[in-house]
Structure 1
């Protein structure tokens, strides 16, 4: 069994991941130079390849790192009713987006559609975060219909949030209430095909 990474190694790896957010978010993928990132981060030129194997491996690991951060941020507070749980998660998501650099937001809305593997990583992390919320709402084993409809809501939610970040002309609380109502309507529609969906309208 290999030795666990030292604190210094973890610190260097995390510094590279943070630097990767800036690099891949601010620069087209083909123009990103790993040697430049290493120099700016103060690590040996070959260390990114030691940790991540290749430029592509580095890029995918940056996406996974963002996903881990998001899952931690979007943990549902205990003891809340369904509507309050959704609002708390949406508020935390807004706060996280606002407090992070433009490069990260550009990376999240970057052209991943042309990169199937990156899209798989991104979608898996988004669904993991949503699964936490669904479990808290009592929908621990969503069927195919539920997953399709909720994934559509996630895509809309992310797009609305990014548009709001660009131009916050509508009060944030109104945007959150709109997103809660839309998810509630989806649950109402799904409820026609079976029981077990939370009512968000009176929370």
Structure 2
């Protein structure tokens, strides 16, 4: 999987062959087919593994105070995106062309991240629709801010993290205005 992540980070999906993958992995091509059935199966397994790491990172650290947890989570998100740029771009943009399987993975990740944020902010994963919608808006802005930052990286990761954390604070305050049952916590 690590070799595949690196290969797909350096080479486009269309130009990377199963022969190339097997050569870099030092295994017979048949072994890759045995476990993944196809190049697409291998690619989707890499995307799924990558997003599982991202979600696990976001869900960890529940023992930390909320503000510290948010900073650590957003910083981890940015580190992940920076270290796994090809996988991150695939997750956020939906993959090569219109890829329904990659988009389904992305949507699952978004829902899990929203539930994780809700749990940290409100102590529960199920929240009113208006709160979910606002957090989805924040999360999609995080995705595209991160994509743009990866393209330029003129700002340091700490600056981008602080920007995103403050944007989350504003989102939580706005949610509270619409839904008093979801009081805003100070996140940064």
Indicate whether the TM-score tops 0.5.
Answer: yes
Q: How far apart are the structure 1 equivalents of 2:6 and 2:91?
A: 12
| Corresponding residue of 2:21 | 37
Larger Rg, first or second structure (1 or 2): 1
What TM-score do you get using the length of structure 1 for normalisation?
A: 0.76
| Corresponding residue of 2:41 | 57
| Corresponding residue of 2:107 | 123
| Corresponding residue of 2:126 | 141
1:73-107 CA distances to partner (integer Å, 9 max, x unpaired)?
A: 22342343333321121122233344x25544554
Q: Secondary structure at the match of 1:46?
A: helix
Question: How far off is 1:62 after superposition?
Answer: 0.9
| Corresponding residue of 2:177 | 192
Task: Pick closer, same or farther for the CA change 1:51–1:124 going to 2, 3 Å.
Answer: same
| Corresponding residue of 1:94 | 78
Q: Secondary structure at the match of 2:175?
A: helix
Equivalenced residue count is 186
What TM-score do you get using the length of structure 2 for normalisation?
A: 0.81
The alignment's C-alpha RMSD in Å is: 2.6
Q: Does 1:154 align with 2:144?
A: no
Unaligned ranges ≥5, structure 1: 1-16
Q: How far apart are the structure 2 equivalents of 1:77 and 1:198?
A: 21
